[in-house]
Every structure is written in structure tokens, then in C-alpha cells.
Chains A and B, each alone.
Chain A
Amino acid sequence: MSSRERVNPRTRVATHVLLVVTSLTMVAPFLWMALTSFKTDRDIATFPPTWLPSSWRVGNYADALSVAPFDIYFRNSLIISIGHVVLNLVFASLAGFALARYRFRGREVVFLGFVALLMIPTYTKIVPQFLIAKTMPLFGGNDIFGYGGSGWVNTWWGLIIPGAVTPFAVFLFRQFYLSVPHELEDAARIDGLGEWRIWAQIASPLIKPAFVTAGLLTFQDSFNNFLWPLLITTDDNKRVVQLGLSVLKESGEGFTTQWNLLMAGTTMASLPMIVLFLLTQRYFVQGLATTGIK
């Protein structure tokens, strides 16, 4: 924030030049992606290369949609991401509220348990998570012991439930609830409001930024997730956007890549997060700076 000194104009110009060059370098792959998505096959093969397409071929997007059902992928990605956001905001904030506001036996153990589980790396749990989903009793043709069928594989249950509530969000909410004063809640209790309504109507509205931050980070994690949908889905009706890109990658003859179609798909896959980020930059930056995730 600080402008400690009166920077001399020459340094200032140099700083801007450096920042512009760096910013362009960081953004260049995205520009290249977007521009390539409008190019014809000939434009892509041409040398010397051109940044801009010689003619803008919007049809690449329609072609990409005909090669792979991106409309279905998008629907699936949104169902899963929004499902994760809703479930995580409700259940993690409830747990965070209880851990911040009530004194009960075992509270410290529960809290430290969440903190310990939040540090577990993905690869220390992913194989059994898949096995649990696959052997979920009485689902997908499984018997009561989890044998015989496919369980939660390729189901909404399997796509949504395992990642629905994150210890990270519980932790984040607890810290936020700790930071707001009790007085309003105590007053509400005297007025006869129940504990659940105190959570919903008094305490939670005070920490709206926490809900926005947790919601955005949950959405980002879910929308960008690749490994779990890769493992748990088996057909196009349940696949998500990030998986759909692999279909486009090998859509050409002999599994070659049609670059313009792949880049059209990639543009579609990354645009929602880019737009969301540019609209809500402040919350992203605050959330990530205070927690250091990613």
C-alpha cells in the first residue's frame, strides 16, 4: 500500500515497462488460446505465424460442440460445483459456528481433528475413497455388502458427496465466527430466539465476506477438479468440462489434435473461472492471502 518515497519518474516508467511485459507474458498463453480458437486449419499451419486469424472462424465452437457434448459437460460441471458450494457453505458454517460459539466436552478434540484432516494430502486418501464409492452398499446394483455392482461410480452421489464438505471451510468459518462479537447473539437469546435461528439470522449475516470467500474457493476447486471426476465417471452423461477436453485432444484423424477445436473447448472450459475471478478479485485475493491455500 505504501508509497514510501517519491519515486523518480525514470524508475516509475521502468517499473511499468517491466510490469507490462510480465503481465503480457503471463496472459500470452490465454490470448494464444482464444485467438487459435478462431483460426482456420490453414492459419494454424501457416508460417510465419500470425497472432490474429486471417478470417475469424466462429464455427470452431459449433464444431467442438458436435465432437464432444460440451453442453452436457457444462451442465454437469455446474450441478456439481453449485452442489458443492451449497453443501459446504451450510454444513461447514454450522460446524464452524458450533466450534467457535459453544463450550462442550470434546470441542478441542473435534477442532484439532478437523485441523489434522485438513492437512491430509489428496493421494493419501484417493484410492480408498474410490473403493468406498464403488462398494457403496445397495447402490448401483451392489448387494448389502457392496458387491456385485458399480456402487456410486458414475452417479451424482459419487460425484458430489465425497468432496461436499471440506475441513478447510470449517476452519475458515470458525475463525470468522470467533472474530465477531457475542452481544447480538446474547440479545437474541434473551428475546427467545433458538440456537439454529441465531446461526441463520444473527451470526451468519455478520460474516457475509466469509461466505463469499468460502463459496468462491469451493466453486473454483470443484469446477477445476480433474482427478476425482476422471476416476468416478464412465460416460458422457456424467462427465465434466475438464474431462471433455481430453475428448477434443484426440478428435482428429488417427487421434491427432484439431488445435482450433481443442482451443475452442479450452476457452469454454476456462472462461467461467476467468470471468468470475475478474468480477470478484477482492474476495479471492483476501481469502487466499489469509489462508494461503492453493
Chain B
Amino acid sequence: MTASSEISPALPVEVPPVAPAPGRRRRQASSVRTRVAWAMVAPAGLHALFWIALPVLATFALSVTNYSVLAPLRFVGLDNYTRSFGDPIFLTSIWHTVVYTFFTVPVAMAIAVFFAVLLNQQIRARSWYRAAIFLPQVTATVAVAMVWYQIYDPYSGLANKLLAFLGITGPAWLADPNYALPSVIVMGVWQGIGIKMIIYLAALQNIPEELYEAAELDGANAWQRFRQITLPMLRPATLFVGVVSIIGAFQAFDQVYVLTRGGPANATTMMTYEIYKNAFATFQMGLACAKSVVLFVFLFALTMLNRKLSGGGEDE
């Protein structure tokens, strides 16, 4: 249910052939098994149809209506879309979503790959370091956002108290339109490093040792080996991490809700927050669905782009 639980499209999808079962007894047995198989798939399948497939279709259908819980439903064509793109706050929210993604994803990825390489050595306390870096990912976004809400407090927050040590008067962070979005971004980077590092660590362990040994024989130094072997070999992982992270970042909501409620003066509002406001604060469900479709189109385009970049089409 959470925005974070989406999965990447890059997973392998293969259905292995099963040998046909000849003979009458086998055939009878197989018809029994077919019934059993359907009975086993049915609960999960019907649940997915009712709670995922139906809502997705409904989102598209409702996006061309004026549906609000209060008024009767009426077809309005593309009105919700023209209204959305004519609304400067929604356009701002798209911009903020893009800025948030642009800064959190690559920065966290760079940090993640660096520490993945460090932790890929046999060093003492390795699993403790890994746990510490991963910890922000395990805890609820709402809870860690509450902690950052305190850190950013202008008077008693950790950030300004540390700055005061250096003789600097810190800004009001979340209440200052110039600092609010960067503040949300910093928390996003901090929270996002862990999972990226874990995926990179798994990818690093698949790089054959011989490549490094050969390079070493050729006299390549550590930096050259990193540039010429590690980075190229990590390319599939990088694409994978990139797309999953972008999809996640586009759906950031909890931290915005806790830290700023989209403020001050819409300085941190994101597409998800606008959808939430339209649907559940002003009950303009049709309008909210149109904005959901816009968000979906962004994510769909990114997914397709990834398939193309990662040499998709192999599985066709």
C-alpha cells in the first residue's frame, strides 16, 4: 500500500516450460490439478483484480468526470486536465517533484556506491556499519520525519544549535520558502542511501574476481580499477536503482505531510500532496484522479525509458 513498496519492472519474467503429461490417468489427474491450481490462485487473483485493477481503471474513468462525494456524477471531458495544467500551484508541484527527485536520487546513489565499495571489503564490524547506514530505511518515514521536524526547529532544533556553535544564526528552515525544499531534500538523501547501498553491495559481489586480478597484473591502480571495471560492471544495477528510486521519489508524501504540509506558501508542495489535497481535503475526486493520471504518465514514461536504456526487448 505504501508508495515505497513499488517494485521495479527490471525483474526477470520467465515461465519455464513444463513437460506435457501423456496418458489418460495423467490427464485425469491433471484436470483435478487444474481445478486445485485455480482454487489456489483465486483469492490472491480476485483480491488484486478488485483492489488494484479496478481502482486503476476507475482512476482513469473518474478523471473525466466532476465526481465529488457530494454532487452527482457528470462527464466533463478533459476539463480536469485543462484545469490542472492551468493551475499554477499544480505546475509548481510538478516542478518541486522533479527538483526533489533530481537532487535526492543522484546524490544518494553516489554516496551509496561509494560506501558499497568500501563495505565490499573484508573489514571488521562490516555488518554494523551496514546496519547503521540502512537504519533510516527501516523506520517509518513519518517517524523519522518527526525527528527531522525537531532538528529543523529554529529555536530548539539540533541544526541551529550546531550552527550557533560556529557563530552562525541558522534560518527558520521549514518556515523559510528558500530553505524549506532543500530541507526536505536533505532528509530524502539521508533516508535513501541505505537501500541503494544494499542493492549495489549485492551487485558488487557478482563481479568476477578474475577481472580485478587481470587488471592488477596489467598495473592498474585502485582508481583505474574502479573506473574501468567496477563502474561499468555496475551499470545494470545503476539503472535498476535509478528507476526504482525515481519512482519512489516521485511518490514522496509522508515527509511533506509531516514537515511542511506543502508550505510555506506552497514552497514544498508535490504532485502527491496536491492529489491528496484535492481528493481528501476538498473532495474533488475527479480532479484528483486527473492529477493521478498525470503522475502515472510520468512514471510510465520513466519505466519505458528504463527498458530502452537497459536493452529491454530481450525478453520478447
Residue with the greatest number of chain A CB neighbours at <10 A, chosen from B133, B143, B272: B143
Interface string of B228-265 (1 = CB under 8 A from A): 00000000000011001001101101100110000000
Interface string of B132-164 (1 = CB under 8 A from A): 111111111111101111110101101001101
Chain A residues within an 8 Å CB radius of B107: none
Given that A47-B161, A124-B59 are known contacts, is A29 also in contact with B144, CB under 8 Å in the complex?
Answer: yes
- Cα distance, A111 to B251, chains bound together (Å): 26
Q: Is the CB of B37 within 8 A of A129?
A: no
Q: Is the CB of A127 within 8 A of B47?
A: no
Tell me if B280 is interfacial: C-beta within 8 Å of chain A: yes
Q: Which A residues between 39 and 54 are near B, CB-CB below 8 angstroms? A: 44-45, 47-49
- The tally of residues in B whose CB lies under 8 Å from a CB in A reads 121
Tell me if A162 is interfacial: C-beta within 8 Å of chain B: yes
Secondary structure class of chain B's binding surface, majority of residues: helix
Tell me if B45 is interfacial: C-beta within 8 Å of chain A: yes
Tell me if B288 is interfacial: C-beta within 8 Å of chain A: yes
Among A225, A263, A277, A289, contact of B2 (Cβ-Cβ < 8 Å):
A225
Among A5, A15, A29, contact of B118 (Cβ-Cβ < 8 Å):
A15
- The tally of residues in A whose CB lies under 8 Å from a CB in B reads 115
Given that A3-B121, A4-B212, A281-B127 are known contacts, is A118 also in contact with B7, CB under 8 Å in the complex?
Answer: yes
- Cα distance, A168 to B9, chains bound together (Å): 11
Q: Is the CB of B146 within 8 A of A245?
A: yes
Q: Which A residues between 16 and 51 are near B, CB-CB below 8 angstroms? A: 16, 18-20, 22-24, 26-27, 29-30, 32-33, 36, 44-45, 47-49
Among A24, A32, A104, A125, contact of B59 (Cβ-Cβ < 8 Å):
A125
Given A132-B55, A245-B258, 13 other A-B residues pairs in contact with their CB atoms under 8 A: A2-B212, A29-B144, A32-B150, A110-B41, A118-B7, A123-B272, A123-B292, A124-B293, A132-B54, A132-B58, A224-B143, A269-B140, A277-B131
* Residues in A lying within 8 Å of B, measured CB to CB: 1-5, 7, 12, 15-16, 18-20, 22-24, 26-27, 29-30, 32-33, 36, 44-45, 47-49, 91-92, 94-95, 97-99, 101-105, 107-108, 110-115, 117-132, 134, 161-168, 170-171, 178, 195-196, 199, 220-228, 230-231, 242, 245-246, 249, 257, 259, 262-263, 265-266, 269-270, 273-274, 277-278, 281, 284-285, 288-294
